[in-house]
Structure 1
Amino acid sequence: MILVDADACPVKDEIYTVAFRHKCPVRLFAGQYLRHPDHPLITMTMAGDAFDAADDLIVAESGPGTLVITTDLPLADRALKAGAAVLTPKGEVLNAQNIGVRLATRDLMVDLRAGIEGQGIGGPRPFTKADRSTFLQALDRVLHKLGA
């Protein structure tokens, strides 16, 4: 099963395409309703607007054999601890070996941005066609590994 942190996920259409090919169920989690294909493999869970409500629901469903797709590093860490595989929309596989460094870097960047407010330091680079292609390849590999 694929669990998607869907509010700002730029690769939902790609997830659907690969899920249909693998006949793998997809659950979308978001604060409010998002349009999605009317297909028995796709379900939508509206978490409401409480802080981390969607994250909590995703973690509750996470475990061995599930794949979580998210850019949210604290959510990724929680899902990994629950036994899930984790993939970012840019095709990066997150795991126990790299999540600690990624979290530390995230925290450092938050502190740097706060310390130099108004100095023009930006966020992550824009999402590209190459990122989309990398994601598709990584998603296929991970699903094969999970036996989907």
Structure 2
Amino acid sequence: MRIWVDADSCPVKIREIISKAAKRVEIEALYVANRVIPVQEHDYIRKIVTSNEDQSADKYILDNIKESDIVITRDIPLADELVNEGLTVLNDRGDIYTKENIKERLSIRDFMKEARELGLGYESTNRFGPKDVQNFSNSFDKILRQKTS
């Protein structure tokens, strides 16, 4: 089992939680991005820098995952593909994506994208804060306990 992080937009606090957990349970954490992401080097922590091509980090993750892996991403189309492959996926706010909820999340995402493109001005007011960090920490810890027991 490995922990894959779609690291392009992963907040620092979340990267810190993932890195500490990877060291604690001795599981490799792979931070994949199309640019260098500041992450502390360690035997269980690896940075993977992909090309600048659109979706290159997503493609790298999809090409290298195994069924036992955990993936952290806020990219809902990527999460949809991963969930359909049977992987455990959560976002940086602690939401766990499942076959039961991913299509609804994808539909909402597509609607909001289309509304913005039409100039309807839907803006997100949900700022990332301490509650999100705590929710992520709780969900991530729960998943790690399930997968390592």
Give me the TM-score of the superposition, normalised by structure 1: 0.92
| SS class of match (1:7) | helix
Q: How do residues 30-49 of structure 1 correspond to structure 2 at under 5 angstroms? A: 30-49=33-52
- Matched-pair identity in %: 28
Of 102, 105, 108, which aligns to 1:105?
108
Of 59, 63, 70, which aligns to 1:60?
63
Corresponding letter in the other structure for 1:20? K
Deviates more, 1:102-111 or 1:60-69: 60-69
Cα distance per residue 1:35-92 (max 9 Å; x no partner): 2112010011111110111001111122321000000001111112222100100000
Unpaired stretches in structure 1, ≥5 consecutive residues: none
Cα distance per residue 1:91-137 (max 9 Å; x no partner): 000011100000001111111122235x4x31251101011011011
Q: Is 2:82 the partner of 1:89?
A: no
Aligned counterparts of 1:32 and 1:110: Cα–Cα separation in 2:
25
Corresponding letter in the other structure for 2:57? A
Q: CA RMSD in A?
A: 1.4
Give me the TM-score of the superposition, normalised by structure 2: 0.92
Corresponding letter in the other structure for 2:84? K
Q: How do residues 1-148 of structure 1 correspond to structure 2 at under 5 angstroms? A: 1-10=2-11, 11-117=14-120, 119=121, 121-123=122-124, 125-147=126-148
Do 1:62 and 1:83's aligned partners in 2 also have CA atoms closer than 8 Å?
no
Aligned counterparts of 2:135 and 2:20: Cα–Cα separation in 1:
15
Aligned counterparts of 2:8 and 2:140: Cα–Cα separation in 1:
19
Aligned counterparts of 1:64 and 1:125: Cα–Cα separation in 2:
32
| SS class of match (2:8) | coil
Corresponding letter in the other structure for 1:36? V
Number of aligned residue pairs: 146
Aligned counterparts of 1:51 and 1:42: Cα–Cα separation in 2:
24
Distance change >3 Å, CA 90–CA 126, structure 1 → 2: same
Deviates more, 1:67-76 or 1:33-42: 33-42
The ranges of structure 1 where at least 4 consecutive aligned residues each deviate by more than 3 angstroms after the TM superposition are none
Distance change >3 Å, CA 15–CA 32, structure 1 → 2: same
